[in-house]
Amino acid sequence: MKNKVKFGTSGIRGLVSDMTDKVCYAYTLSFLHYLQSIDAIQVGQAVGVGGDLRKSTPRIMNAVAAAVVDAGYTVVNCGLLPTPAIALYGIAHKIATVMVTGSHIPEDRNGIKFNKPDGEVLKDDEQGILAQNPVLNDALFDGKESLLASDYLPAVNTTAEQQYIARYLDFFPENAWQA
């Protein structure tokens, strides 16, 4: 993939203007093909998709979901939530997850973090992802690399958020806040 969006410390990062729908779709498709090549996922399984509160996140989540659907997987829309929440959800349910987040970088940028069913994508995995040569469905995009449809995300499934909150609340006994 020849573009300005690259793997950074954790996941891919780039200017929002460079993270076109087609670029995000291609990276996600490569991630899914890589996981399939190492027998970490099977076609038809669920893939969790979540995002942060940046203005560009819903568009990028839709592009990620388009790749998930086009590759033959089922999208679980985890909604807008913290990055650790979707990682916990993926590990608990043994599914791959994708988190659209810019984390601490400026608002004019964003990123995508990929998680295998057993945890975060590591540096060794990045080479495997980049080695994939996915066939892109060009019919999904206009001349500006934008998706023609914006409805790839199903309704939000709040299970990931609920599990994340419960993980912390369940740590304390019921009477922890009593004087």
Pair 88, 160: CB distance under 8 Å? yes
Dist CA 21 CA 76 (whole Å) = 19
89, 97 Cβ separation under 8 angstroms:
yes
Q: Which tens digits make up the pLDDT trace of 14-73?
A: 999 999 999 999 999 999 999 999 999 999 999 999 999 999 999 999 999 999 999 999
C-alpha to C-alpha distances, 134 to 99, 115, 126, nearest whole angstrom: 20, 19, 15
103 is catalytic: yes
CATH fold label, 6-169: Alpha-D-Glucose-1,6-Bisphosphate; Chain A, domain 3 (3.40.120)
pLDDT recorded at residue 166: 93
Spell out the domain ranges in the chain.
Answer: 6-169
User: Whole-structure pTM over 0.85, yes or no?
Assistant: yes
Q: Is the pLDDT of residue 1 over 60?
A: no
How remote is the C-alpha of 103 from its chain's centroid? Answer: 13
Spell out the alpha helix ranges (H) of 39-147.
Answer: 57-70, 83-93, 123-130
Q: Which of 37, 56, 103, 146 is catalytic?
A: 103
Cα–Cα distance between 178 and 161 in angstroms, integer? 26
Mean predicted lDDT score pLDDT of the chain: 95
Q: What are the pLDDT digits (tens) for 35-51?
A: 999 999 999 999 999 99
pLDDT in tens, 94-135: 999 999 999 989 999 999 999 999 999 999 999 999 999 999
